[in-house]
Structure 1
């Protein structure tokens, strides 16, 4: 059992105890342990109970519960709670903004135990009549239900890639060639079908092999003799395995990677890219584009005709790559809600070949994330100075902060404190329900603040979980251009915000983009791979990638920017 799996079970136990109105003290014991252990770097599964008790938030009772989880993979108390809880009530936990107490009220007072009944009750106005709810809450629940329905059957980029790789590894044991295709290959941020192409000269035998794999669950109604469709066990997303002979694989890989609008692009010979793909004697992807009289487009960009317009100004070798990244600027440590120390995060960055690490822990208003007040800011900066003294000229830790953008658009510290940072990532974390005008005005004021260096996750969205607040993207990007503010591509696969569709407009306005992992641990730093994929999808070049600047260039940029603030 991993730490995150243990923490998830403890957290769920606490939430279900609250739902079933267990003793408050006992409920808090589980919730507190989950909250504290979420940041722990200890190997929870291998610690004896007497060592677990020494960890923050862990009492004797919970320590033995952790041992039960580690040894059995289950928790008897949680199993009992789950047995008492309808699965539809569990689904209500997915509704953002609907807390445990409100879920309990809906279940007990209205007898609602599934999402369909909840939607019907909202549409009939019954939820608004419950004390503590009202029409505003009812409308939010309806909007959240609609959003969940739209996202049903989809997975994020990271999970889709994991599923595709699992399938690829399994299938290559049985087939000579297997290729990941479709949405996964073109790095879609949300995936509803994980598609792979399987090479075979005997589709009947191949289908028997696929149906015999224990991890695959076939859906015979939507399958056909040349297309296996169903799901990978334990994952709620459609899997499509297409069978082709060896001579067709390259051609079909090209066709199935690109989205329909891209394939309909007409080339110089009057034929669409799809028509050329079916008739070209040379089935290599580059040859198909060449035969159509169109520039070669990398797989990530094969969505529509935007890529061809982009290719009129840029070359593929200008697109940003992982190897172009020289540092990382939006990261958290144990000073706020991260799992590793500043020193350890910096050391891992060095292992990755990066030359600078920017720490941007949460600011004081983010009390839920142990945000830093001015005194703790000073203490952290002293630690960073001491660490930097040991690096020489080859590596540097930059002093940053992720400052909350307050409801009026101001930043979370006075100017005296803001002036101590090398850079500031300004982000919205609270009061997310806003009109387009309110959200845009709030961000514009933050952008106008001379201390704002980077605008963090501009819409606050969580993919498949929460829609972002609406903003006027053009107005925001134009303001960033005017005030020399960099825009973040938040590389966390949960966010990927700013959306790739706005990257090209930002570039045209002269706004640089920073591929920021928003990392809270070592693994989070690797999320920059998803940020690179998103950047490439939107046509981001190395030249316009902020953290592709060298250490010397970044030091100069930040120094000059701070100097200009001091002269104003």
Structure 2
């Protein structure tokens, strides 16, 4: 069996953590696995190098025991104790943990007492009043579950999802699988935005891989027909000097470009701001991704003049991302009113690397609500016909300018 990479190991460790939490027992064990998975997801060097150099325990949260598990997962794709946990807790039960407010002990009770093994079965049980009648669950939990399911399904008027990753870079699923999961959730478009070539640690796309992905998107779009579409995007790294990491003739082949900083976080405030301003002024930039670079409970953002960047985004018609990943929630809701006053559009993006992470959208919606962002100022609240027209006109305008 081929050895598996960092993101797949992180996914398996997270499943390990979730199943351990559901099983009960020592709560710190589940937290330790979860922390190790978080650290692997943010890893800036290939896992193979750390294994080769016997440096796994240098990863935050990885001690000797977890290092042994990581090594086994890397070499075989599984681990005996993980297989045992899989027998005890089916994969579908883990879906339930994605619903806000549903704690592991409640999920376990829903599974063991009511046989609930998916979100669809959870909704059915709630609508049939079975949760209300169950010991240790009750009517308050049932009401909360129905409310949160409604939020997740409604999408508050949003029409599509952009800024998602596939297994072409550091995601876990194929383009087709991610697109179909997005369509199944009632959205009109899926904007793929895999990592660019500078993100070598995340399997950034070569020119040949971009061409292959675009061909695959064209093939799938023919199958989907006119009511759903894959938009061809890229998450292009902003280099230290503010340039994007593909030449213009490559950037113009995309429907949209998310420009993001993934390194050199310690530049001073002036240099970091200038770096972002140059990226915003690039005519191929459609969205500025996770503008401040913060990761909640992990690292602060880098120092920038947020107001200056927002004014530039408004001037150059570049949308500001509300990154819905629960580690990021960036741009912070406290800046949303300033963004609106300067004239910015915003874009609520899940930064999804798996099917489950598509449902991070609800966190972004909650943040936009908190920041007072109306739907007409959200890029991906546009219906499919409007966003394709907008992106096409935008490309034409800078083609004329060139």
Same structural fold, with TM-score higher than 0.5 when normalized by the shorter chain: yes
Higher relative contact order (CA 8 A, sep 6+): 2
Q: Cα offset for 1:359?
A: 0.4
Q: SS state of the match for residue 165, structure 2?
A: coil
Rounded Cα–Cα distance in structure 2 between residues aligned with 1:521 and 1:447? 28
Q: Which residue does 1:340 correspond to in 2? A: 173
Which one of 141, 148, 161 corresponds to residue 101 of structure 2? 161
TM-score if structure 1 supplies the norm length? Answer: 0.50
Rounded Cα–Cα distance in structure 1 between residues aligned with 2:314 and 2:334? 17
**CA deviations over 1:416-474 (Å, ceiling 9, x no partner):** 10010001000000111222112111100100000000000001110011101121111
Rounded Cα–Cα distance in structure 2 between residues aligned with 1:531 and 1:548? 13
Q: Which residue does 2:365 correspond to in 1? A: 532
Decide whether the 8 Å contact of 2:196 with 2:245 is kept in 1: yes
Residues 117-266 of structure 1 aligned to structure 2 (within 5 Å): 161-163=101-103, 166=106, 173=135
Q: Which residue does 1:415 correspond to in 2? A: 248
Q: Cα offset for 1:373?
A: 1.4
Q: Which residue does 1:458 correspond to in 2? A: 291
Rounded Cα–Cα distance in structure 1 between residues aligned with 2:311 and 2:34? 46
Q: Which residue does 2:211 correspond to in 1? A: 378
Decide whether the 8 Å contact of 2:106 with 2:137 is kept in 1: no
Which one of 256, 267, 270 corresponds to residue 437 of structure 1? 270
Rounded Cα–Cα distance in structure 1 between residues aligned with 2:36 and 2:275? 35
Q: SS state of the match for residue 384, structure 1?
A: helix
Q: Is 2:368 aligned against 1:428?
A: no
Q: Which residue does 1:392 correspond to in 2? A: 225
| Structure ranking higher in helix proportion | 2
Decide whether the 8 Å contact of 2:172 with 2:354 is kept in 1: yes
Q: Is 2:309 aligned against 1:473?
A: no
Rounded Cα–Cα distance in structure 2 between residues aligned with 1:25 and 1:322? 41
Q: Return closer, same or farther for 1:434/1:67 CA change in 2, 3 Å cut-off.
A: same
Q: Return closer, same or farther for 1:471/1:159 CA change in 2, 3 Å cut-off.
A: farther
Q: Cα offset for 1:70?
A: 2.5
Q: Is 2:88 aligned against 1:67?
A: no
Rounded Cα–Cα distance in structure 1 between residues aligned with 2:243 and 2:357? 28
Q: Which residue does 2:354 correspond to in 1? A: 521
Q: Cα offset for 1:161?
A: 3.4
Q: Return closer, same or farther for 1:508/1:25 CA change in 2, 3 Å cut-off.
A: closer
Q: Cα offset for 1:30?
A: 9.5
Decide whether the 8 Å contact of 2:290 with 2:322 is kept in 1: yes
TM-score if structure 2 supplies the norm length? Answer: 0.69
Rounded Cα–Cα distance in structure 2 between residues aligned with 1:178 and 1:323? 23
Which one of 189, 194, 200 corresponds to residue 361 of structure 1? 194
Q: Return closer, same or farther for 1:382/1:29 CA change in 2, 3 Å cut-off.
A: farther
Q: Cα offset for 1:322?
A: 1.4
Q: SS state of the match for residue 365, structure 1?
A: coil
Gaps in structure 2 of 5+ consecutive residues: 1-10, 18-31, 40-47, 60-71, 87-97, 111-130, 143-147, 149-153
Rounded Cα–Cα distance in structure 1 between residues aligned with 2:182 and 2:136? 39
Q: Return closer, same or farther for 1:160/1:345 CA change in 2, 3 Å cut-off.
A: closer
Q: Which residue does 2:378 correspond to in 1? A: 545
Decide whether the 8 Å contact of 1:10 with 1:30 is kept in 2: no
Q: SS state of the match for residue 390, structure 1?
A: helix
Q: Cα offset for 1:31?
A: 8.7
Q: Return closer, same or farther for 1:166/1:507 CA change in 2, 3 Å cut-off.
A: farther
